[in-house]
Chain A
Amino acid sequence: MASKYNENGGMEERQRRRDLKMYYGLENGEIEAEGSVQHAMINSTDPCNLDGANFQPQTYLSKLIQERSLTELMDEEQKMVKDIRGLDSDMQTLVYENYNKFISATDTIRKMKNDFRKMEDEMDHLASNMSAITDFSASISGTLQDRRQQITKLAGVHSLLKKLQFLFELPARLNKCIEMEAYVQAVRYYTKAQRVLHQYDHMPSFQGIHADCESIIKQLRMKLMERFRQKESTAKQLTECVDLLTQLGEPAESLCDEFLSHAKQKLDEDLEEMQTQIKLYSGEPTPGHEQRPSHAYMNTGMDVLEFVDLGCNGFLSNMCLVIASYNDMFMNRTVTDESLDTIALRKLVLFVNELMEQYFNSVRQRVQLEKETGDNTILVRALDRFHRRLQAMNKLLPDTDFSRAGTEIVSRGARDRVSHYLQSLKQHFSDCLTDIRQNLAAPRLVGKQDNTARLSELLANMQSSVVEQIKSVLGNLQAFIAPDITFAMKPYFRGPFCSQDVREGLVVAFIKHICINCNDFCEVPGDKTTSPPALLMILSRFCIDLENASISYLLSLAEEQFMVEDITPLTTTTELFAMAKDTGQRLLNHYVKVQGLTISQMLRKSVETRDWLTTIEPRNVRAVMKRVVEDITAIDMQVGQLYEEGVRKERSSDSSRRTHALSASQQNRRPQWNYAPSVDNSLMSNIQKLFSEKIEIFSAVEFSKVSVLTGIVKISLKTFLECVRLRTFGKYGLQQIQVDTHYLQLYLWRFVSDENLVQVLLDEIVCSAVHRCVTDKAMMEPSVIDLICERG
């Protein structure tokens, strides 16, 4: 063990100190903190530990003796002695040190004792001073007690006086405020003072003040009202005014009225302006502008877009402003009760409705004025803007629906446009007609060939121009349903517009107009000069072409462009087809009638004016007959321009064979002429008629050249027959008729569908002439007739 301590002197030293500390019972905690001490503590119960508290020298000694050898015991003994010496010296050092410390401590204590004594004296002094102070202060506060009470009283009086002063000054202050136009301040002052004044109303002086204030406030109120009514005051000012006035206890309802009437003035001005614009545009003289001619000259009216802009920016925005501020002022207040709210709302709605109606009226007027311009993009844009603006308006005032009325205006505008276009189409159509008339009239001077050659060209021109016109109109109208136009997307605009207005109102109406117009040509009786036959012809063909192609093309075009889906309630194409066909038929019938009548007029005159009893022996075919054949040839060419050949009844296609057949049939018939009158011509003709079909003279014709010409020839020959029956013939008269009819027979067969028809009619003419002849057996020899005809 001793060797262990020797090995480490430092350890030993510390050990020693600790032991000393233990000895003095100092700082237990310090020892415990160290690990080795713990070890020592653990070992302290060990009776063999020298340093332990439970050390039993006996046990230790016996243990040493038992366990160690002699040398070891010797060493142990030496070490032990050494330790004891070391300990003793340590002890001595310690005692010495402690002694010194003790002495210094005693010194210190002594010194402290002295100091304390001194301090005690000072403390006593302090205490005596303090008590003196206390005494003083007590005496001071005692003396000041009265004053303080006085002062608080005085302060109270002071504030009261201040208040009173405020009250007394209030009228002047209010006046000043009013002078400075600081109305807000004035109102604040007044509302502050009002209660007090009210409370002390029974005191005469206060009463005076109160009265003063009241009068001033009345003034103020007047001023506010005045300002409120002023036209120039802005919305913000107005709001302020209203605010103040409500604070001053004005009834909100009357304020509403005031406000609205004030707003109305402004809006009325806007409306007035719009009306002026309308008048300017429509060219009415406005009395207001007369004294300023230069101004009026400049203001020839703005176009519709500008107008709508004016309306939107002026009227509508003002209106929005009014509504918004109204809402701010009267409706969205937390303090106002429900009933007031509803009253205010009702008032507003009434007001707005009235003004909007006026606005709509003027817009409607303006839109209706928009007739002249061909381009409608501006109009569409204007309407669009209008519509959009209204929708915004709707959002502002959710209870009312202006967009309905607005859309109505828009669609009416659209409808007006459509009808305007229809008008222009009609105009165009009649222009076309005039054009054709002129064209027909002009080349007649040049020559007939030219004239007939032009018919198909004219027809084509007319068709294409009409179709083009409709197309362009449709194109123009498409602007109304352009995708960027808001109202175009509304189903309640789009549906009726596309199907009712465009399809029915424009395309169908135009086709109907054409038909009716064409029908009118047939209805004019005895007025042949107004409608040249060629025009009738062209129109008839035009109608047929309409039926065949154009109608379906135009309708499908319209439906396609305007996306008309539901066409069940609309005019069907078949209806229009029937109409066009009917018209074409009527026109053609009329044409046949007119042409037939022209020729029959010629024939009638020629028969009536001649003295058939005393005429000379026929040498020639009469010029009239040649003229008739010429005219019919011309008509044939004319009709051939526009209509197909059509079907003949028999042997029609091969014309080279015809001459042969004709001569053969003539051979068959001639004997009849020779013998029939001598036997019993009436019986013969009766029998003949029994077997032949009844001939309808003015009957409907088909759409073919042959049919048309057959009709004309029938009419002419029947007239010839009737005229012959009214005359009396001499021998040569009869012979002349023979020659004429034969001539006609030679030339007319080629035009008609059934040559038998011509034959029958001509036979009848000759028979009638024979009846009307005063002499018997006056017929001319067929060979001579042939000869004359060939010569002529």
Chain B
Amino acid sequence: MQARSLCAQEAETESIRFLVGTQSLRAENQVHFIDFDDENSIIKKTIFRHRDGEIWNMSASTFDSSLFTTCFNKTSYTSNESLESPLSDELSFFNIVTIAFNTEAPALDKSPSVGICEDRLICWDLNTASSSAKVTNSKNMEGRSHSKTISGRWNPHHNCQQVATAVDTAVKGWDLRTMSQVYQIESAHSQLVRDLDFNPNKQYYLATCGDDCRIKFWDTRNLGQPLKILSEHSHWVWSVRFNRFHDQLVLTSSSDSRVVLNSVVSLSSEPYGHLVDNDDDEGNNEEREGGDEDSLKEESQEPLKDGVIATYEEHEDSVYAADWSSADPWTFASLSYDGRLVINHVPRSEKYKILL
């Protein structure tokens, strides 16, 4: 089964859990709930049915482990579904690209979230108790006819009042209190910007990736020049994710069917330049939904400085999604189009280097 969407169950902090949504037009779609037991390397898989259509994007609530959203396509339109298992209220908006949960919950049963459509920005208050969602705010994003929004993320800082979206080759920042644009990175990439992520531990720092095969790091206070450019991939980079705990670890996936784990110590919140002794021991664990065993190639680690930590080449098709586990800072999953999910660990040597 083809699959495009992957997310970590962000509210879960005990065990390593991922959600995967399939993308099939003809067969019935599923949401796979994967529980990975790190110690025994056992995967438990729970499958939910998702009859409504192919899933393009998923995101999990940051405070309620039972809540997640999918963006799906019913052959002719995309809509949002917020569900535990029952589907209560279907919010039908046209062309929803992604939904992002606020990381701060103002009340127990209310969670604000933002939906990003191709041409507008919508805020909801999701109420789990009543299983309802209320639109609190929406904003049309003016733009040229062909510039569609591709992706968007909450800014975890500043009291969670900001959202950044990727529109064509630009990145725009929005203030949700006024629903107005606060900044814009014009032509952040020479081609489409595919994804972006905020550094969870360091304010203003933002990573973007795009069709020009590059990953760029920005400071939103100074948008003239990127802070750093990585070009490790040989095709479009589809996702970029900071590690929530150790933000020097940056995970990127690309349609060259590679997943690259970068270390960007120079831009991380951690003090830069402390010395760590080398440890050649490397560990990783790799499991796969498909079940086929395959050898794992891993590049040797480098000392604690900027650079590629490892390149993972287990995938045979384009890798459209990759995400860190919310529970274990050293585990991450990547999903390729052919439906293969790979769970990997950060090499142990690198881990020790960061920890020690």
What residues of chain A have their CB less than 8 Å away from a CB belonging to chain B? 525-527, 597, 601, 605, 608-609, 613, 682, 685-686, 689-690, 694, 696-699, 718, 722, 725, 728, 771-776
Contact = CB atoms under 8 A, between A and B. Distances in A.
Contact of A526 (B75, B187, B213, B234): B187
B338 A526 contact: no
Nearest to A613: B76
Contacts of A608: 146
Contacts of A527: 190
B205 interface: no
A527 B2 CA distance: 36
Contacts of B313: 694
A698 B233 CA distance: 8
B218 to A, nearest CB: 14
B212 A525 contact: yes
B296 interface: no
Contacts of A686: 316, 338
Nearest to B238: A722
Contacts of A605: 146
Contact of B338 (A613, A685, A694, A774): A685
B17 interface: no
A316 B256 CA distance: 75
Contact of A728 (B75, B146, B190): B75
Nearest to B190: A526
B339 to A, nearest CB: 7
Interface string B12-41: 000000000000111000000000000000
B321 to A, nearest CB: 13
Nearest to A528: B190
Nearest to B186: A526
B86 to A, nearest CB: 27
Contacts of B98: none
Contacts of B25: 728, 771-774
A722 B212 contact: no
26 contacts: A525-B190, A525-B212, A525-B214, A526-B169, A526-B189, A526-B190, A526-B212, A597-B190, A597-B191, A613-B75, A613-B76, A682-B2, A682-B339, A689-B317, A697-B234, A697-B235, A698-B234, A699-B234, A718-B235, A718-B255, A725-B318, A728-B25, A728-B73, A728-B75, A774-B26, A776-B26
Given A527-B190, A699-B234, 8 more contacts: A613-B75, A682-B338, A689-B316, A694-B257, A722-B318, A728-B73, A772-B25, A774-B75
A776 B191 CA distance: 34
A608 B1 CA distance: 24
B337 interface: yes
A774 B74 CA distance: 10
Contacts of B191: 526, 597, 601
A686 B338 CA distance: 8
Contacts of B235: 697-698, 718
A689 B314 CA distance: 12
A613 B73 CA distance: 13
Nearest to B339: A682
Contacts of A725: 318, 337
The CB with the most chain A CB atoms within 10 A, among B26, B76, B190, B257, is that of B190
A440 B338 CA distance: 45
Nearest to B4: A725
B235 to A, nearest CB: 5
Contact of B2 (A613, A697, A698, A771): A771
Contacts of A699: 234
Contacts of A722: 236, 255, 318
Contact of A690 (B169, B214, B257, B316): B316
Nearest to A722: B255
Nearest to A685: B338
A725 B4 CA distance: 10
B163 to A, nearest CB: 23
Interface residues of B, number: 30
B270 to A, nearest CB: 29
A580 B86 CA distance: 65
Nearest to A614: B76
Contacts of A776: 26
Nearest to A525: B190
Contacts of A613: 75-76
A686 B73 CA distance: 25
A682 B26 CA distance: 13
Contacts of A689: 316-317
B319 to A, nearest CB: 12
Nearest to A524: B190
Q: Closest 3 interchain pairs by CB? A: A526-B190, A698-B234, A525-B190
A311 to B, nearest CB: 50
Contacts of B75: 613, 728, 774
A511 B73 CA distance: 57
B193 to A, nearest CB: 12
B184 to A, nearest CB: 15
The CB with the most chain B CB atoms within 10 A, among A609, A613, A686, is that of A686
Nearest to B2: A771
B187 A698 contact: no
Contacts of B212: 525-526
Contacts of B189: 525-526
B237 to A, nearest CB: 11
Nearest to B256: A697
Contacts of A696: 234, 256
A527 B234 CA distance: 20
A231 to B, nearest CB: 63
A763 to B, nearest CB: 13
Contacts of A690: 316
Interface string B158-195: 00000000000100000000000000000101110000
Contacts of B2: 682, 771
B234 A682 contact: no
A694 B234 CA distance: 12
Nearest to A695: B256
Contacts of B76: 613
B186 to A, nearest CB: 10
B297 to A, nearest CB: 12
B177 to A, nearest CB: 33
Nearest to A773: B25
B336 to A, nearest CB: 11
Contacts of A775: 26
Nearest to A526: B190
A725 B255 CA distance: 11
A230 B169 CA distance: 81
Nearest to A774: B25
Interface in B214-251: 214, 234-236
The CB with the most chain B CB atoms within 10 A, among A689, A698, A728, is that of A698
B234 to A, nearest CB: 4
B73 to A, nearest CB: 7
Contacts of A771: 2, 24-25
A696 B1 CA distance: 25
A690 to B, nearest CB: 7
A218 B76 CA distance: 122
Contacts of B73: 728
A360 B260 CA distance: 62
Contacts of B214: 525
Nearest to A764: B317
A699 B235 CA distance: 9
A614 to B, nearest CB: 9
A469 to B, nearest CB: 34
Interface string B268-301: 0000000000000000000000000000000000
A525 B188 CA distance: 10
A685 B1 CA distance: 12
Contacts of A718: 235, 255
Contacts of A728: 25, 73, 75
B103 to A, nearest CB: 29
A726 to B, nearest CB: 9
A579 to B, nearest CB: 21
A699 B256 CA distance: 11
Nearest to B212: A525
